[in-house]
Amino acid sequence: PYSQTIYAEIINTITGCFGTSELTLTVSNTSVNNIVLPAACDDGGNEDGFYQFNLNDANAEIFNGLPNGLNISFYETYNDALLEQNKLNPSFTNTIPYSQVIYARIENGNNCYGISEVLLTVKELPDIESTETVYYCLNKSPYFITLNAGVRNNSSDNYTYNWSTGENTNTIQINQLGTYTVTVTNNTNNGCSKNKTITVESSNIATLKEINITDGAQNNIIT
């Protein structure tokens, strides 16, 4: 049963008079939808697995198929949702990196209609350095050197590349000084992108400026 009546009796210990009262306990038998909020790329600047979500983006899917007039509020734990304490701001940054379940409490008036699980997911960006400096030996011009998008800890085949030169391969060949950029995108279901800037600077052939000789008779030193 979802409803039960219990009784309370209050007795005056001096006079022996008493009174009774009924208390009806009701448990909601309604159900609500558990949902997965669209995953976010970890592009907040720190790449730490934290992202500021708009929890109201979950409302439409939670309310789908439910009657009108319901209210919703979000909580970090199931117990908080039961007790209606520590209500979350709709602009919420996850406290567990990359994956966390929070809870939405749906009410009809002040009566609990149900509690829904909401999964928050933060996706990692491609593992590449944001900047790199490469030196081009001018005395070798017009010799070509290779610039590499530099994907680490994964196969380069799992990504697509968009260079500022218009090329779309993991590496490109260049023989000009300047700044080159590449956008690396995970082409699996991740879909997150990250930019890399490569600065190509000049380097001339080395020249000798000074030679130091230490004459030690049998053992001489030339620096």
Of 147, 124, 130, nearest to 196 by C-alpha is 130
Model pLDDT, residue 215: 82
CA gap 54, 146 in Å, rounded: 43
pLDDT at position 66, please? Answer: 86
Mean pLDDT by 10 residues, the chain (223 residues): 84 93 80 89 87 95 89 96 94 96 91 90 94 93 94 92 97 96 91 96 87 82 88
Q: What is the pLDDT of residue 61?
A: 92
- Alpha carbon distance 164, 183 (integer Å): 9
pLDDT for res 29: 65
Q: Measuring CA to CA, which residue among 111, 119, 87 is closest to residue 30?
A: 111
What's the Rg (C-alpha) of the chain? 33
